[in-house]
Amino acid sequence: MQKFDVIIIGGGIAGSVCAKFLSRNHIRTLLVEKCKTPRPKACSGIQFGYFARIVGERFPADKLCHHQLRKVEVHKPDGSSVRVPYFMYNFMRDVFDDYLNQVAQNNGAVFWDECAYAGHEETDDCVNVDLKLHGRIESLSCSYLVDASGLRPVIRRKLRPGDFRTTSSGGTINYYIEGDSVLDPETLYQFWNLDWNNQMFAWVYNKTVNGQDLWVVGSGYDRDLKMHCESFLSFIRNKYALHGRIVKTEGYSSNIEFDSSDRVWLGQGRIMMVGDAAGLVDVTRGVGMDAAALSGRLAARAIIAARSKNTNAMDEYVKYTRKMVDQTRRNQSQGINRLSTNEALLEHMRTEMTRVNVRMAVNFILNRFRQPENITLLP
């Protein structure tokens, strides 16, 4: 039976970053991804500047879209808007995650794509793991098993089925549109309006798909998703003279209990959850890749620390992630899904978001002086 120190299930952001930091510290790591790579992933692929520091890489230009984002334009429900200069990375997840898989391998990780988790059994001193590779089951063992399999986490669903609904808890649709418009390709447009999105803002931005620049118009809702997204698309088409044809439509739905008080769960024993699998995606912040990368990096640090200090890796992981977990739980109670009218949303933006913006400005500055593992996630 093949043995690894750590087996990571899921070759997205969290899994790849975890694999990179383990391998560079000589921890024998296997990273597996169920899809053939590069694999498509429904995601806006937009991140704060600090993301590169958490991942610990300088991102090559050819892994990013043609246009990086340099402005954010926030549209309020009463039609008013504010525009602020703000840099954000802009990339497609198929290209970017493939690059991160490569980064993990360059640091020494073993990577298998088209390889899916098929089961595990934890003993006192190891975890026996079954993987489905090329149609047959491979049995391996490891000291730690990391679930980095995203919002439908395979291991967590097995260990804690009660954390998931039987129906969808919400979804998103992205329309990719070709053609000219009066939109600025370096601006992230955010539209806060409960007629279009009752979880966060509805969005418009520019993306490079197979070398072609396309406009992406998208939104999310916890019910009647298509109706809300089509209404937003028709508004954007009129407002910005966006007449081109839809060349691709991308949808996503989740069944994790976003409202549950223990949505964030870091694992147990020798099984660790990272990224979305840990419930760290934050609808209030509108992003999750930074939390995925940071949790992957901190899980690696916890395993390394536990080996050198002969302590418990889960205890170390809980300690290192406390700030991020507390923030996610705090944000969870402040989501706009509690609000029922656009007047209430406008008032929320006036009061709550002003506080958020001040905190964001302070942490934006402080983060420059913090070590990557101590970065405070924005906003």
Ligand X SMILES: Cc1cc2nc3c(=O)[nH]c(=O)nc-3n(C[C@H](O)[C@H](O)[C@H](O)COP(=O)(O)OP(=O)(O)OC[C@H]3O[C@@H](n4cnc5c(N)ncnc54)[C@H](O)[C@@H]3O)c2cc1C
Query: Per CB under 6 A, which of residues 243..262 are in contact with ligand X?
Result: 252
Nearer residue to ligand X within complex by CB, 312 or 331? 331
C-alpha 169/C-alpha 115 separation (Å) is 28
326 backbone φψ class: left, alpha, beta (φ>0; ψ -120 to 50): alpha
- In the complex, least distance from residue 106 CB atom to ligand X, rounded to whole angstroms: 18
Nearer residue to ligand X within complex by CB, 255 or 312? 255
- In the complex, least distance from residue 258 CB atom to ligand X, rounded to whole angstroms: 12
- In the complex, least distance from residue 289 CB atom to ligand X, rounded to whole angstroms: 3
- In the complex, least distance from residue 347 CB atom to ligand X, rounded to whole angstroms: 26
- The rounded Cα 291 to chain-centroid distance in angstroms is 7
- In the complex, least distance from residue 65 CB atom to ligand X, rounded to whole angstroms: 12
C-alpha 178/C-alpha 144 separation (Å) is 46
Nearer residue to ligand X within complex by CB, 12 or 185? 12
List the one residue from 4, 7, 8, 10 that touches ligand X (CB under 6 A).
10
- In the complex, least distance from residue 363 CB atom to ligand X, rounded to whole angstroms: 16
Nearer residue to ligand X within complex by CB, 233 or 287? 287
Nearer residue to ligand X within complex by CB, 256 or 353? 256
C-alpha 66/C-alpha 64 separation (Å) is 7
Question: Which of 266, 301, 309, 278 lies closest to 374 in space, CA to CA?
Answer: 301
Query: Per CB under 6 A, which of residues 264..323 are in contact with ligand X?
Result: 275-277, 281, 287-290, 292
C-alpha 216/C-alpha 200 separation (Å) is 16
Query: Per CB under 6 A, which of residues 128..157 are in contact with ligand X?
Result: 148-150, 154
C-alpha 14/C-alpha 92 separation (Å) is 16
Query: Per CB under 6 A, which of residues 171..190 are in contact with ligand X?
Result: 172
Site string for ligand X, 13-52 (x = CB under 6 A): xxx----------------xxxx---x-xxxxxxx-----
Please choose, out of 6-14, 176-184, 333-341, 344-352, the segment that lies near ligand X by the rule CB under 6 A. Answer: 6-14
State how far the alpha carbon of 30 is from the alpha carbons of 105, 158, 176, 237, 249, in Å.
10, 21, 35, 46, 33
Nearer residue to ligand X within complex by CB, 33 or 316? 33
- The rounded Cα 133 to chain-centroid distance in angstroms is 26
Nearer residue to ligand X within complex by CB, 185 or 275? 275
Question: Which 3 state secondary structure label does DSSP give 181?
Answer: coil
Residue owning tokens 């969290």: 14
C-alpha 118/C-alpha 244 separation (Å) is 44
Q: Count residues near ligand X (CB under 6 A).
A: 36
Please choose, out of 3-11, 119-127, 193-201, 335-343, the segment that lies near ligand X by the rule CB under 6 A. Answer: 3-11
Enumerate the β-bridge partners of residue 122: 127
Does 98 contact ligand X by CB under 6 A?
no
Nearer residue to ligand X within complex by CB, 133 or 346? 133
- In the complex, least distance from residue 88 CB atom to ligand X, rounded to whole angstroms: 9
Question: Which 3 state secondary structure label does DSSP give 6?
Answer: strand
Residue owning tokens 């400005």: 361
Nearer residue to ligand X within complex by CB, 145 or 277? 277
Class of residue 356 by CB neighbours under 10 A (exposed 0-12, middle 13-18, buried 19+) = middle
Nearer residue to ligand X within complex by CB, 46 or 242? 46
SS3 percent helix, strand, coil of the chain, rounded to 5, is 35, 30, 35
Cα atoms in the 13 Å half-sphere on the side-chain side of 53:
14
Q: Binding residues for ligand X, per CB under 6 A?
A: 9-15, 32-35, 39, 41-47, 116-117, 148-150, 154, 172, 252, 275-277, 281, 287-290, 292
